[in-house]
């Protein structure tokens, strides 16, 4: 009886995720048509977001490796 619970929950979660993503993409598409955003401004904003994401990722990696070294964890790949 308990075997069907994960199947139902995962199916429900995937269904909700797909529905929300559809409406999010549709809303953003409609907003872009309404504003008439220029391609240059869109690329510039996308570049800024990507740069911030990469910097945040590097910061988290640096923090993680520093913390691991401080705690004496072995980070060698051997």
pLDDT digits (tens, 9 = 90+) for 16-61: 999 999 999 998 888 877 776 677 877 888 899 999 999 999 999 9
The token pair at 27 is 């809303």
Is the model's pTM score more than 0.75?
no
Q: Rounded to an integer, what distance in angstroms lies between the CA atom of residue 40 and that of residue 47?
A: 11
Residue-wise DSSP of the chain: -TTHHHHHHHHHHHHHHHHHHHHHHHHHHHHHHHHT--HHHHHHHHHHHHHHHHHHHHHHHHHHHHHHHHTT------
């Amino acid at each position: 009886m308990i075997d069907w619970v994960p199947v139902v929950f995962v199916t429900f979660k995937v269904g909700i995720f797909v529905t929300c993503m559809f409406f999010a993409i549709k809303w953003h598409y409609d907003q872009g048509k309404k504003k008439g955003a220029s391609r240059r401004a869109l690329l510039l904003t996308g570049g800024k977001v990507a740069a911030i994401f990469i910097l945040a990722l590097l910061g988290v990696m640096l923090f993680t490796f520093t913390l691991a070294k401080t705690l004496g964890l072995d980070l060698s790949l051997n």
